[in-house]
């Protein structure tokens, strides 16, 4: 004979899960709406600086939306396939950049991580790969960008390495790098920028609790 208390708890859990999925669905729809509004405003903005800023915000909002879409329902929405996210974001950024002379090489391990780190990692990739595509190869110069993802002893490591013109030591730190630093700190991780000879190497390490792996 079924225990009435267990039935009540099961129905309560099902209701909670349904409400959570509905909230996540609404959040994704809202992000998509915001993204569309930004793109529309960018197309109607005559000033180049403002237009570029709106396009940058559009890319960031899209990255957050992608992280939301890829949350793994098989683990109650608590996990994300980071490799799939990196692969899709890299394809979108490369297509939007329109740089046929720049080769993108992906070396991605299968990495599952808590859903809460999905959006920050997506934004770090948007800034790192976006900056490489925009600034590492000026005047139509050809080149190569390698995007790597792997597990390490503490969690995951994401790297973006280009063979472009590099970064001047006395160059001011722009908004993109500042944002990546802040996101790495939010994740209790570390962002390291070093010369790649030629080019630039960006590596972010993010800890993941080994006892919480799916």
Residue 18 pLDDT greater than 50, yes or no: yes
Beta-bridge partners for 143: 102
pTM value?
0.76
And the tokens for 177?
A: 């790098």
- Which residue, chain included where needed, has tokens 């609790």? 209
Q: In this predicted model, what pLDDT tens digit does every residue of 106-151 receive, in sequence order? A: 999 989 999 889 989 999 999 999 889 888 898 889 999 999 999 9
- Which residue, chain included where needed, has tokens 């000033």? 47
The confidence band for 204, taking pLDDT boundaries of 50, 70 and 90, is very high
Q: Distance (Å, rounded) from C-alpha 169 to C-alpha 165?
A: 12
Beta-bridge partners for 183: none
Cis peptide before 198 (omega within 30 of 0): yes
Instruction: Say what percent of the chain tops pLDDT 90.
Output: 31
Q: In this predicted model, what pLDDT tens digit does every residue of 24-41 receive, in sequence order? A: 556 666 656 666 666 777
- The strand pair at 190-195 and 200-207 is best described as antiparallel
Closest among 53, 64, 76 to 30, alpha carbons compared? 64
For 167-181, what is the mean pLDDT?
Answer: 77
Report the CATH number that the domain containing residue 173 is assigned in CATH. 3.30.565.10
The confidence band for 197, taking pLDDT boundaries of 50, 70 and 90, is confident
Closest among 106, 93, 88 to 58, alpha carbons compared? 93
Q: Distance (Å, rounded) from C-alpha 10 to C-alpha 39?
A: 44
And the tokens for 87?
A: 């692969």
Total domains in the chain come to 1
Which residues constitute the domain of residue 96? Answer: 4-212
Q: pLDDT: is 21 or 181 the higher one?
A: 181
Contact between residue 123 and residue 63 where contact means Cβ atoms under 8 Å apart: yes
The overall longest dimension of the chain from CA atoms, in Å, is 76
User: What backbone phi and psi angles, to 5 degrees, belong to 152?
Assistant: -125, -175
Flag the least confident range among 8-12, 174-178, 198-202.
8-12
72: Cβ–Cβ under 8 A, 6 or more apart, which residues? 78, 79, 80, 81, 112, 115, 214
Burial of 16 (C-beta count, 10 Å sphere; 0-12/13-18/19+):
exposed
Q: In this predicted model, what pLDDT tens digit does every residue of 64-123 receive, in sequence order? A: 777 777 776 655 568 889 999 999 999 988 888 888 899 999 999 989 999 889 989 999
Residue 2 pLDDT greater than 60, yes or no: no
CA 172 to chain centre: 24
DSSP-H helix ranges across the chain: 4-44, 48-69, 82-97, 118-135, 175-186
The confidence band for 170, taking pLDDT boundaries of 50, 70 and 90, is low
């Amino acid at each position: 004979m079924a225990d009435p208390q267990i039935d009540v708890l099961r129905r309560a859990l099902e209701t909670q899960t349904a409400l959570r999925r509905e909230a996540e669905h609404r959040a994704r729809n809202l992000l998509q709406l915001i993204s569309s509004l930004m793109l529309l405003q960018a197309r109607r903005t005559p000033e180049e600086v403002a237009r570029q800023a709106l396009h940058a915000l559009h890319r960031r909002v899209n990255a957050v939306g992608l992280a939301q879409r890829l949350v793994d329902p098989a683990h109650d929405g608590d996990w994300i396939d980071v490799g799939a996210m990196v692969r899709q974001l890299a394809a979108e950024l490369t297509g939007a950049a329109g740089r046929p002379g720049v080769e993108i090489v992906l070396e991605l391990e299968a990495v599952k991580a808590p859903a809460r780190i999905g959006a920050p990692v997506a934004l770090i990739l948007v800034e790192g790969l976006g900056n490489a595509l925009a600034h590492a190869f000026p005047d139509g110069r050809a080149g190569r960008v390698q995007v790597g993802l792997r597990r390490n002893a503490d969690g995951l490591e994401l790297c973006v390495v280009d063979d472009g013109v590099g970064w001047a030591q006395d160059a001011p730190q722009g908004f993109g790098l500042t944002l990546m630093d802040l996101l790495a700190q939010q994740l209790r991780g570390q962002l390291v920028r070093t010369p790649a000879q030629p080019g630039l190497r960006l590596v972010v390490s993010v800890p993941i609790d080994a006892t919480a792996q799916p």
